[in-house]
Structure 1
């Protein structure tokens, strides 16, 4: 499941994956995101609260996730990933090859700072 919450009048979307992700999660998320992108042209930011990320239900779900990223990354200015996982520090360099957004990792203790960074103009 992917819980979501809008901040600052649909300018920043926060997503919180919990449990193994399923294909339906990305269809539901697209139904929330696509109308906002149509109305405003883009999102200022996406906050991924990955503290409880448990992976994908199947390889097909991973592929569905990749397609979602492919179809939406050009419409997101910044992405903040909140997690205490050790690989988090390498994540921006890895995803930089696949997304046009500026991506930054934040430890869990800096959740508020991550949200503030996404709201900054730029």
Structure 2
């Protein structure tokens, strides 16, 4: 399951994976995120917060995740990975080569710092 919190006033989205991700999670996330992008032209930022990465429920879920990234990365200015999982460091190192958004990894306890960076570059 993927919990999606939308702060439309700040053009900020917080994604919180809770269990293995499904292909439907990414369809539902897009339904919530796309109107914010349409209204603002882009997202100021996206924060992915999870203590550890739960993985995908199926290969179809992985494909949906990759499609979601492909369709949205140009509409996001900054992405903060707030996690103690090694996936956060990997995403920062590799993601900067494949997506147009700035990416930064924060420890799980640094949510406020991540939010400030995503919104204000601090």
Tell me, yes or no, whether TM beats 0.5. yes
Instruction: Report the structure, 1 or 2, having the larger helix content.
Output: 1
CA RMSD of aligned residues (A): 1.7
Structure with the higher fraction of residues in strand conformation: 1
- Determine the C-alpha separation between the residues in 2 that align with 1:8 and 1:106: 23
User: What are the Cα deviations for residues 12-70 of structure 1, in whole angstroms up to 9, with x where unaligned?
Assistant: 11010111111111110010011111111000000000224310011111011000000
> Matches of residues 1-40 of structure 1 in structure 2 within 5 Å?
1-7=1-7, 9-40=9-40
Output the TM-score relative to the length of structure 2: 0.92
CA distance in 2, matches of 1:109, 1:79: 16
Structure 2: stretches of 5+ with no match in the other structure: none
Runs (4+) of structure 1 moved beyond 4 Å? none
CA distance in structure 2 between the aligned counterparts of 1:8 and 1:36, rounded to whole angstroms: 6
Structure 1 spans left out of the alignment, 5+ residues = none
Equivalences, count: 122
